[in-house]
Amino acid sequence: MVGWETHFFFMEKENELKHLIEEYFTESDYKIIEFIFRGEKGTKVLEIFVDNKNGINIDEITRINKDLSGLIDEKLVLNDVSNLVVSSPGADRPLKFFWQLYKHTGRTLEIEMNDADKIEGRLKELSEDGDGRIILEIDVREKGKKNSIIEREINFKDIKTVKVKISFSKK
């Protein structure tokens, strides 16, 4: 029974911690993308990935990290979490929320649809009313013909994963 009680205690502390962090972000333009707890008792690391509509820089991440560390030290006794890491999601991670797309207008996206269809295209525009519609420009290549570009409207809710395609070539 002691094992179960200990597990429940740590789950409760993790929930308190998440609530405290979520509360901190309600007053800001930043949004939590993901919480990740990893490691074992005494060496647990909490990673918090944050972003906002306009992107986030290292100075902002540093400030958020200091604010959260101070807040956690003040409000919670957490002997179990040894390290707090605040970071941006990074270019290689999928975008999880519609609002994350705004800063990527004009960039090429790699999309996997819920029906497993894969699409690659340049993000032309997003619906202004935030209803989750995006318009992609897709380069259509047909053998023996000149390439053409078609537009395709996609609902964000129909997307399984979306990533920004990383390109190092200059055009």
Q: How far apart are CA 43 and CA 131, in angstroms?
A: 42
pLDDT, tens only, 117-170: 999 999 999 987 767 899 999 998 888 788 889 899 999 999 999 999 987 766
pLDDT at 61 (0 to 100): 95
Identify which of 78, 158, 154 has the alpha carbon closest to the alpha carbon of residue 116: 158
pLDDT at 4 (0 to 100): 46
pLDDT at 157 (0 to 100): 92
Which comes out higher in pLDDT, residue 87 or 10? 87
Q: Coil, strand, or helix at residue 67?
A: helix
pLDDT at 90 (0 to 100): 83
Q: Is residue 171 scored above 60 in pLDDT?
A: no
Give domain 2-87's CATH architecture.
2-Layer Sandwich (3.30)
Q: Return the CATH fold of 98-164.
A: SH3 type barrels. (2.30.30)
2-87 and 98-164 have identical folds: no
- Domain segments of the chain as ranges: 2-87, 98-164
